[in-house]
A and B are shown apart, each in its own frame.
Chain A
Amino acid sequence: MKKLITLSVNSLEHELAVEANVSLADVLRYQLGLTGTKKGCGIGDCGACTVLMDGVPVFSCLVLAVEAQGFDILTIEGVAEGSELHPVQKAFVEVGAIQCGFCTPGMVLNALALLDKNPDPSEADVRLALSGNLCRCTGYQKIVEAVLTAAKDMMKEEAQPEEAK
């Protein structure tokens, strides 16, 4: 028996008929075609499916789609503003934090949430915040560096007087 729900994803409202037991990750990927959210384990252990719900990172493979109603859901597709990359994304590209790219969306969203709470994190803060996101390619080093770089860039931007922006 399908349920009719409304999901707010990347500032767009979607009316959807979903099975009660279907995960948010599956609805995002296979019903909405937002395939930037990846699935690596299905049990909340790899972090590839990380999305933000009201700014809080969740493993979307562990969240039921019906439970996600009423939240503002942000997926990787909603992070850049048009063609303008978010500073976190820019840092990932410039620092060289991307290899196979399968963990990248989850890493970026988790980093976004971290910097929102803690704009000036230490290396240890970043490593801890990303500890639920697995990466097999990079050894995490460039990912951590990218998040620290983004933090600096965002603070610099913040510090600029309004008219200079």
Chain B
Amino acid sequence: MAESKIKSWRNDAREKVTGQAKYTDDLSFADMLHAVPVYSDFVHARIKRIETKAAENYQNVLRILTAADVPGANRFGHIEKDHRIFADDKIRYWGDVVALVVASDRESAIKAAELIEVEAEALPSLHDPEEAIKPDAPLIHESHGSNIINTHRIRRGDVEEGFEDSDFVIQRQFQTQFVEHAYLEPEAAIALPRPDGVIEIYGSMQHPFSTRRFAAAVLGVRLADIEVIGTPMGGGFGGKDDTAAIVCARAALAAKLTGHPVKIRYDREWSIRESYKRHPYRVDYKMGVTSEGEIKAVQCKIIADGGAYCSTTPWVTWRSTVQCCGPYQVPNVHCDALGVYTNNVVAGAMRGFGSPQMNFVVEQMVEIAAEEVGISPVEFRHRNMVKQGSVTVTGQKLDDHTVSMSEALETVIDEIDYENKLKSCSFGKSQSDELYGIGLAMSYRGMSLGAEGMDFCAAIINAQFDGSIILEVGIHENGQGAQSAFILLLADELGVDRDRIRYRQPSTSTIPDSGSTVASRGVLMGSNAVLAAATEFKRKVSAAVSSILKCKAQDVRFADDRIYGRDEHHSISFDRAMHVMFLQQQFPFAFGEYRAPRVSWDEKTGQGKAYFTWVYGCQAAEVMVNKKSGRVRLTNAVAAHDMGRVINPGMALGQFYGGMAMGSGYALSEEIKIEDGEIVNLNYNSYRIPRSVDLPDMSAIFIENPDPNSPSGAKGIGEPTNEIMAPAIANAVYRATGKRYLKLPIKIES
């Protein structure tokens, strides 16, 4: 395979391959205490009393913390401040934490936790969002006045007219499941009370700045009083934002109140019990098409189970609305999305963020429609897909970057030999027990946060007078390789060897709040901040050395670890240039900031420029389905995405394969099972993520069209590769079995 020729590099590979990298639980501090969360057996209940006496008297226990011990806000959240740090008035889900036991050793804390008794009045619990939105349903958050967390809509054209103009109207209902991120490293946090009064936090979280917000709110202190240190983490995938921040905030509280460093390390069972999941969706979808295969109208209703707390449900469902028609032009759209409170586990951010669910729907709907009309699904896609200058269903004109939907589709079709392989599909009939099928799916993904929120990022270049360089960017290293991408980009910009650059993972006190490392925005936002800092850095250095190089500052060039004047005869080494800066009392230091281009949104009509740029991608899958066992085996997968400039090809490949693997688990094996409010599958033995033997050798293709919306040229890739795997597999399963599976995970009756 051609990809094996691609060189890979990352700055932290050596420390990770030798076991030296220090993740949160690998750290320990003198006088450190251990804390563990306490859950109750209730799912929905009004708390009367939490009896802690016996636990307090247990050996080595120093303190039991409950909501009553929180000096600041016990209720917090990104959007709605409804997430209880400790359950106070009610228990709203099985993962709600009622107390924290702090002891000198973890084993004592665990044993003492079992002695805590929760006296509460059990309330009827709601586990089906459709039940929860009935007018007579009990309220989960009384003060919210409704179980509906939020609504979003798109109103475009006139759908009634659109359906009248259609020759075929197709209607289906789809359903998706709760999914666990299953990062290999469970939540962990250490908080240290510093002599200067600052609480320092190390933690497995992908958003140091929101961790700081949560901790400061809980302690009732200001942001400068908390310092969150970026710590290597064992995966996040969107899942280590708010609930991971809360684990850190609880450690901060315990540290503040005991005066000791406090570590909280989660067992896998606690992690799965408490942490938020991918939203289950129920989607009613109606599509009208003409006999020429033109989509005239789409009406859809999306109901998302948000679980017990709001978390990021309004943002997740917003993306679903924007992408409710996939990458297709539809003149008449009526879409309603609802996020709903239930007493299920909290639902929040997960790689894809509301798009995997919708793509599962749309990419099957277009194939069902194509079949009704009697044209090939590929041809149907070509007729309706967005093209250069097209207008999206939210009214955004795609004319300021390369719209490469067709290129992505054709690339994958060629690579996997789609048209030929179509002929071998079984459609439920085969001589042997095995049925063969091939399928594909495509999407466009709005990059970064879009109209969800503020979107800006900072970078700091701090070169030293000996020529070495320290780089910091306000993006967190989740394991994806953000640091290495930034180093490579800076090395390229300054024309220096990458070994000259040392990356320092900043703390929340050393770099401005650059937002969360989510939404595939890490490299997109970070690289442009680095570019801005590099530009400023070069301006300063050029001004300092131009007289030595006998040229104007604007003619100075940076290459080959040297700095050149007007020709190769006039140059000095980078080291020497830094020394010149010293002699001139100039700091070789630059701050760079990047603000995402403007976006817009009208809540009433669901119209606006939702995202400043888009990634176009297509993926295909081949499957074998065993007639007897019903087992689906993924035998091949190909992906092509237009991700703009690829900075670190080896790590970009990792994002492809990892996304495809995670998407295949979403399609075929993963499902958090909740019975009477309790999660049944709390560990990897019962929650099955793909293993090495479940996956084939996959192929990844980069499409690198330039995009003026991103000055560095980079866009992002973490989520696009994840969001279309399930529909590609569903379409392959259809061609193998002859049956449409509209519910995830796909389960085939043998």
Contact status A77-B684, CB under 8 Å: no
Contact status A100-B233, CB under 8 Å: yes
Question: For B650, what are the chain A residues with a Cβ–Cβ distance below 8 Å?
Answer: 95-96, 142
Q: A1-9, A62-70, A131-139, A155-163: which lies at the B interface?
A: A131-139
Contact status A138-B685, CB under 8 Å: no
Within 8 Å by CB of B683, from A38, A41, A128, lies A41
Within 8 Å by CB of A102, from B185, B267, B691, B697, lies B185
Contact status B268-A138, CB under 8 Å: no
Contact status A79-B18, CB under 8 Å: yes
Give the number of residue pairs across the A-B interface with Cβ within 8 Å: 183
Contact status B697-A38, CB under 8 Å: no
Question: For B695, what are the chain A residues with a Cβ–Cβ distance below 8 Å?
Answer: 127, 139-141
Which single residue of chain B is at the shortest CB-CB distance from A135? B184
A interface footprint on B136-175 (CB within 8 Å = 1, 0 otherwise)? 0000000000000000000000000000000000000000
Contact status B16-A131, CB under 8 Å: no
Contact status A136-B235, CB under 8 Å: yes
Within 8 Å by CB of B692, from A36, A40, A42, A143, lies A143
Contact status B693-A131, CB under 8 Å: yes
**A36 touching B235 in the complex, CB below 8 Å, given contacts A100-B185, A102-B23, A139-B660:** no
B interface footprint on A40-82 (CB within 8 Å = 1, 0 otherwise)? 1111011010000000000000000000000000011101100
Within 8 Å by CB of A131, from B19, B480, B684, B691, lies B691
Which single residue of chain A is at the shortest CB-CB distance from B17? A89
Contact status A48-B184, CB under 8 Å: yes
Within 8 Å by CB of B13, from A38, A98, A137, A139, lies A98
At the interface, is chain A mostly helix, strand, loop or mixed? Answer: loop
Question: For A92, what are the chain B residues with a Cβ–Cβ distance below 8 Å?
Answer: 13, 17
Which residues 233-279 of B sit at the A interface, judged by CB distance below 8 A? 233-235, 237, 267-268
A151 in the interface (beta carbon within 8 A): no
Report the bound CA distance from A92 to B14 in whole Å: 9
B368 in the interface (beta carbon within 8 A): no
CB distance from A11 to the nearest CB of B (A): 16
Report the bound CA distance from A94 to B8 in whole Å: 6
Which residues 102-132 of A sit at the B interface, judged by CB distance below 8 A? 102-105, 108, 123, 126-128, 130-132
Contact status B235-A75, CB under 8 Å: no
B21 in the interface (beta carbon within 8 A): yes
B750 in the interface (beta carbon within 8 A): no
Which residues 18-43 of B sit at the A interface, judged by CB distance below 8 A? 18-23, 25-26
Which single residue of chain B is at the shortest CB-CB distance from A130? B692
Contact status B8-A96, CB under 8 Å: yes
A interface footprint on B103-118 (CB within 8 Å = 1, 0 otherwise)? 0000000000000000
CB distance from A86 to the nearest CB of B (A): 9
Contact status B693-A127, CB under 8 Å: yes
Contact status A136-B18, CB under 8 Å: no
Contact status A99-B479, CB under 8 Å: yes
Within 8 Å by CB of A100, from B234, B268, B653, B657, lies B234
B524 in the interface (beta carbon within 8 A): no
Question: For A93, what are the chain B residues with a Cβ–Cβ distance below 8 Å?
Answer: 13-14, 17
**A136 touching B697 in the complex, CB below 8 Å, given contacts A101-B479, A131-B692:** no
Contact status B692-A41, CB under 8 Å: no
Contact status A100-B18, CB under 8 Å: no
Within 8 Å by CB of A98, from B4, B17, B186, lies B17
Report the bound CA distance from A131 to B693 in whole Å: 6
Question: For A131, what are the chain B residues with a Cβ–Cβ distance below 8 Å?
Answer: 691-693
**A37 touching B19 in the complex, CB below 8 Å, given contacts A101-B234, A127-B693, A136-B183:** yes
Report the bound CA distance from A43 to B658 in whole Å: 24
Which single residue of chain A is at the shortest CB-CB distance from B477? A100
Report the bound CA distance from A54 to B635 in whole Å: 36
Question: For A141, what are the chain B residues with a Cβ–Cβ distance below 8 Å?
Answer: 653, 657, 695, 697-698
CB distance from B65 to the nearest CB of A (A): 24
Which single residue of chain A is at the shortest CB-CB distance from B26? A35
Question: For B10, what are the chain A residues with a Cβ–Cβ distance below 8 Å?
Answer: 96, 98
Report the bound CA distance from A13 to B362 in whole Å: 61
B726 in the interface (beta carbon within 8 A): no
Which single residue of chain A is at the shortest CB-CB distance from B481? A99
Contact status B20-A101, CB under 8 Å: no
Contact status B692-A144, CB under 8 Å: yes
Question: For A153, what are the chain B residues with a Cβ–Cβ distance below 8 Å?
Answer: none
Contact status B684-A98, CB under 8 Å: no
CB distance from A149 to the nearest CB of B (A): 8
**A42 touching B267 in the complex, CB below 8 Å, given contacts A98-B16, A139-B657:** yes
Contact status B184-A102, CB under 8 Å: yes
Contact status B689-A40, CB under 8 Å: no
Which residues 627-662 of B sit at the A interface, judged by CB distance below 8 A? 650-651, 653-654, 656-662
Report the bound CA distance from A135 to B4 in whole Å: 20
**A134 touching B479 in the complex, CB below 8 Å, given contacts A96-B653, A128-B693, A142-B657:** no
Which single residue of chain A is at the shortest CB-CB distance from B19? A36
Which single residue of chain B is at the shortest CB-CB distance from A109? B19
Question: For B9, what are the chain A residues with a Cβ–Cβ distance below 8 Å?
Answer: 96
Within 8 Å by CB of B654, from A29, A48, A99, A123, lies A99
CB distance from B348 to the nearest CB of A (A): 17
Which residues 646-704 of B sit at the A interface, judged by CB distance below 8 A? 650-651, 653-654, 656-662, 683-685, 689-693, 695, 697-698
Question: For B18, what are the chain A residues with a Cβ–Cβ distance below 8 Å?
Answer: 36, 76-77, 79-80, 85, 89
B493 in the interface (beta carbon within 8 A): no
Which single residue of chain B is at the shortest CB-CB distance from A137? B658
Report the bound CA distance from A103 to B689 in whole Å: 14
CB distance from B647 to the nearest CB of A (A): 13
B298 in the interface (beta carbon within 8 A): no
Contact status B657-A105, CB under 8 Å: no
Which single residue of chain B is at the shortest CB-CB distance from A103? B184
Contact status A43-B685, CB under 8 Å: yes
B280 in the interface (beta carbon within 8 A): no
CB distance from B119 to the nearest CB of A (A): 31
A–B Cβ pairs within 8 angstroms, 18 of them: A29-B25, A36-B19, A39-B25, A40-B268, A77-B18, A89-B18, A93-B17, A99-B479, A100-B185, A100-B479, A102-B479, A127-B692, A131-B691, A134-B684, A136-B662, A137-B235, A140-B661, A142-B8
Known: A98-B13, A139-B659, A140-B657. 18 other contacts (CB 8 A): A35-B26, A36-B20, A40-B684, A46-B184, A80-B18, A95-B4, A99-B479, A127-B695, A131-B692, A136-B184, A136-B658, A136-B689, A138-B654, A138-B657, A138-B661, A139-B660, A141-B657, A142-B653
Measured CB to CB, the residues of B under 8 A from A are 4, 6-10, 12-23, 25-26, 181-186, 232-235, 237, 267-268, 478-481, 650-651, 653-654, 656-662, 683-685, 689-693, 695, 697-698
